[in-house]
Structure 1
Amino acid sequence: MITIGMTDGRMYDLYAEWIKGNEEQIEIIRIGYGFDNFSEVEKCQAMVFTGGEDVHPKYYDRLDYLPYCVPVDFDEQRDAFEWELLNDVTKRKLPILGVCRGLQLINVYFGGTLIPDIPAWGKFHHAKLPDGRLREHLIHVDRYSQLFDIVAYTEGLVNSLHHQSADKIAGDLVASAISSDGVVEALEWKDKQGKPFLCLVQWHPERMEDVASPFVKNIRESFLREVKLLNS
């Protein structure tokens, strides 16, 4: 049995269903401050950091960005809880998969910053469409990256429903994919030698309609393969 921790948040069930699939040997533990279950992390062999609320700009020392944020879209208890969660899983060198907010939080944790509102920074095609449908756009993958090793394509169509993104990239990380207008779409270790698996994506694989897309299927499979190898 492989036990994977997953942070609680919006649309949690979609993330859990995507990662677990039909594999009976995978157990998902929902980790969140609302469950007061930090001790459950000890059972986990990997961690998924899911999407959701904006990361409060105090975590990257830019309180001047507050006017660009929506106060109701903060959950400071979640920020604090997941910060401590990152302390734990990075010390234990667990494999990590991060989606949307997960990418943003982890970039900040390692010393990076965020663009608090992409439209205010002149990028207009990353949020949901006016009718509520998910927007799609091309991303460009660095052919020398781990991400390219995973998906085997230098371009791909992904969904997009976010208003924040990575700005300054943390020193230990590097961007492995960007959108056509220059928004960071994926991060990974700059030097992965001796480090655990880390794949951070801005799009939402758990909500993409094309489940056979390598930007969905291969992301999941590479994460699970790494977890299984470490625990075989």
Structure 2
Amino acid sequence: MKITIGITDCGEKHPIYEQWILCQSDNIQIIKLGYRQQNLHEIEKCNGILLTGGEDVHPRFYNKPENLSLCNPDFMDEQRDVFEWNVCEYVFKHKIPLLGICRGLQFVNVFLGGTLVGDIPSIGKNNHSKYYEGKDRYHAIEVLPDTSLAHIVGETAGEINSAHHQSVEKPAESLRINAFSDDGIVEGLEWKTPQSHSLTLVQWHPERIENENNPFNRCIREHFIQAVSAS
């Protein structure tokens, strides 16, 4: 019997996430979840959820209206925010395994009560956005030892890609930071205390890391699929 994974709609990049998940096993089927599909009800068929990257989370969802001027008005979608808020309500109520990538990490942090940096360069940090020609940046990552992430990837240092201009400011009370970039930007979150609910949150894009054997690509997918299969 196949497992079903819901992947939130992120527009033209959605097939990249699908292909990345499907290459793990022939035993997986995908449901695209989004307000354009008007299919929130299909979440009941899902054994796991992947929250994808994409638009800035509207600052009203984390009560920092001063961040609005730092957001790209053409790169926000409140309908998506509302839809994915409803997705999170279902996921955390029913303890569905969840993988949050880039915006997905940020959105879960906001949903659980955390806040975001509106624009990374505005706080004096390095630019973590894509290059102008659309290619991801790559930079070093430090994974804190004795974290779930260190156990998942089997490493405490490595290289990841980067394509974001916002980041975690204050982690939600129930979460802890498990990884940083070399300039101190939060690269991963996990439960502060062990939970039965599988939750993996990464700021980078494992689905787009060019080296398929990079543990920050392969091991993230493997861990998520194993959690979904076991649920």
Q: TM-score, normalised by structure 2?
A: 0.97
Q: 1:58 aligns with which of 57, 60, 80?
A: 60
| Matched residue, 1:21 | 23
SS at match of 1:209: coil
- Residue 22 of structure 1: how far off its partner (Å): 5.4
| Matched residue, 2:206 | 205
Q: Which digits, 9 at most, give the CA deviation of each residue in 1:149-175, with x for residues without a partner?
A: 000111010000100001000000001
Mapped contact 2:24–2:222 kept (Cα < 8 A) = no
Structure 1 distance, partners of 2:171, 2:54, is: 20
- The number of equivalent residue pairs is 229
Structure 2 distance, partners of 1:7, 1:169, is: 23
- Residue 124 of structure 1: how far off its partner (Å): 2.0
- Residue 2 of structure 1: how far off its partner (Å): 0.3
Structure 2 distance, partners of 1:148, 1:215, is: 10
Q: Which digits, 9 at most, give the CA deviation of each residue in 1:21-44, with x for residues without a partner?
A: 152210110000000011110000
| Matched residue, 2:42 | 40
Pairing 1:214–2:215 present: yes
SS at match of 1:33: coil
Query: Which amino acid is 1:167 matched to?
Result: E
Runs (5+) with no aligned partner, structure 2: none
Once the two structures are superposed, the pairs formed by residues 1-232 of structure 1 within 5 Å of their partners are 1-10=2-11, 11-21=13-23, 23-193=25-195, 195-230=196-231
Deviates more, 1:127-136 or 1:37-46: 127-136
Structure 1 distance, partners of 2:133, 2:229, is: 41
Q: Which digits, 9 at most, give the CA deviation of each residue in 1:35-71, with x for residues without a partner?
A: 0011110000110000000000000101111111111
Q: Tell me the C-alpha RMSD between the 2 structures.
A: 0.9
Runs of 4+ in 1 over 3 A off after TM superposition: none
- Residue 129 of structure 1: how far off its partner (Å): 2.1
Percent identity, aligned pairs only? 48
Mapped contact 2:128–2:137 kept (Cα < 8 A) = yes
Q: Which digits, 9 at most, give the CA deviation of each residue in 1:45-103, with x for residues without a partner?
A: 11000000000000010111111111111100000000011001110100000000000
Mapped contact 2:96–2:198 kept (Cα < 8 A) = yes
Q: TM-score, normalised by structure 1?
A: 0.96
Query: Which amino acid is 1:200 matched to?
Result: L
Structure 1 distance, partners of 2:90, 2:227, is: 19
Structure 2 distance, partners of 1:58, 1:212, is: 39
Structure 1 distance, partners of 2:128, 2:72, is: 17
Query: Which amino acid is 2:93 matched to?
Result: K
The 3 A distance-change label for structure 1 pair 144 and 122 is same
Query: Which amino acid is 1:108 matched to?
Result: V
Mapped contact 2:62–2:115 kept (Cα < 8 A) = yes
Query: Which amino acid is 1:5 matched to?
Result: G
- Residue 133 of structure 1: how far off its partner (Å): 2.2
SS at match of 2:113: coil
